[in-house]
Amino acid sequence: MFGLLTEKLGGAFSKLSGQRKLTEDNISDAVREVRLALLEADVNYAVVKNFIKRVKEKALGDAVVKSVSPQQQFVKIIHDELVSLMGGEEPQLNLSAKPAVVMMCGLQGSGKTTHSAKLVHHLKKAGKCNNPLLVACDLQRPAAIQQLQTLGDQVGVPVFVMEGEKSPVKVAKAAMTLAGDAGHDLVVIDTAGRLHVDEEMMQQLEKVKSTVKPHEVLFVANATTGQDAVKTAATFNERVEITGTILTMLDGNTRGGAAISIREVTGKPLVFEGIGEKMDDLQWFNPQSMADRILGMGDTINLVKKAQEHIDEKDAEALEKKIRKASFTYNDYLSQMQMVKKMGSLKSILKMLPGASKLGDLDIDDKEFFKVEAIILSMTPQEREQNCEMAMGRRKRVARGSGTSLDDVNRLVKSFKQAKQFMKNMPKMKNLEKMMGGAL
């Protein structure tokens, strides 16, 4: 994602490399390159025009800090303006009412049905609701109801369906009655889409909205469609007044124009981003995080969130004590590997680190995780706790038992010893909670 845009912006910033101060001439050269990079990334022309105007004004008006190079200062200006352009702060949903009602809308193929299920799963996991309900109001697309039911089963959320009913308005009305009687605290309504905007679809959405009076109307946009997604979002906003946007397919080969443009064009925040096909692959849209990614600075904000979600503070403190006492074992090594696996693929995690974009297309095989796991699980309890030396005979037995080679076992033993020594020599780690809070 954003690979070409990141590369082009890097080229623009390089024009200020070695400059002693920001001048109107060198700013104009850099700004010209930024403009071209954004337009090639399919950012809306009017958005680019206003963005460049603000950047130029700020660059010419800012006094250069002595300890910061002109190039660094210009990068910061671009970063700050990107954050501002995409909303400034991470948005929140209005879920205070019981039940809170969210209506999903968008064109066919945007991922609306899938993200209806992802949304309730995400909010339930985050403690934002306890008893959600999905409502199947897409009566247009064949198998849409069955798809929502299947997804509902996956995330453990009931789906309201009215067999044989042809009116989505009647389905929505009946669902709201049930939600009140059954004590559902969140209702997410999946509506019908079309391959393109048409009057019948818009009238249907307007009727559903007037019936259920949703607290949030979320437009689901496929980021790979670029400016088409922006134009469609503007049309939906005019007719049904959306409250925010969910961008899907941000893990794919997208130029990024929709992510940068939609908020400015609609005046409504980007709320979530879909980053994969799994039900867990939905995260809050954070303008700071997105600006970092666009500029090739990694994604430490979402990396820290993932770590907070999967790292238990007490376990981390106990592990630190083991490291300090040099009692770190293969069992500890295995538990840490398994924790990293929960956070996602190694490739995706490394790409979130600052500077990872300079490594090019990382070719990392997650099968190595399983290989290490198999080797450690093939050890005896004494070997895992390091109560005996991993002599050659033991290593050969472990290799046979794990279905790996002797070289694989030797490599693990060597890397384990290196990791143990490295951790032992590390400066004393801060309290995990403070460390995570500081990173945020």
- Domain ranges, ordered by start, for the chain: 3-85, 100-294, 305-439
Condensed to tens digits (0 to 9), the pLDDT of residues 198-246 reads 788 888 888 999 998 999 999 998 877 777 778 888 888 888 889 999 9
318-322, 330-334, 376-380: segment of lowest average pLDDT: 318-322
The better pLDDT of the pair 400, 65 is held by: 400
Question: Beta strands 132-137 and 270-274: pairing type?
Answer: unpaired
3-85 belongs to CATH 3.20.20.10: no
pLDDT at 298: 58
pLDDT at 55: 85
pLDDT at 280: 85
pLDDT at 346: 57
Question: Beta strands 244-248 and 100-105: pairing type?
Answer: unpaired
pLDDT at 351: 58
Smallest Cα–Cα separation from 78: which of 93, 62, 102, 96?
Answer: 62
Average pLDDT over residues 82-104: 87
Q: Classify 69 as helix, strand or coil.
A: coil
CATH number for the region 100-294 comes to 3.40.50.300
How confident is residue 434, by pLDDT bands cut at 50, 70 and 90? Answer: very low
% of the chain exceeding 90 in pLDDT: 20
- The domain defined by 305-439 folds into 434 Repressor (Amino-terminal Domain) (1.10.260)
Condensed to tens digits (0 to 9), the pLDDT of residues 173-188 reads 999 999 988 989 999 9
Q: In what order do the strands lie in the sheet with 159-160?
A: 159-160, 132-137, 186-191, 100-105, 216-222, 244-248, 270-274, 282-284
Average pLDDT over residues 361-365: 52
How confident is residue 54, by pLDDT bands cut at 50, 70 and 90? Answer: confident
Q: Classify 420 as helix, strand or coil.
A: helix
Q: Is the pLDDT of residue 353 over 80?
A: no
The better pLDDT of the pair 366, 400 is held by: 400
- What are 81's two structure tokens? 């303006």
100-294 shares its CATH topology with 305-439: no
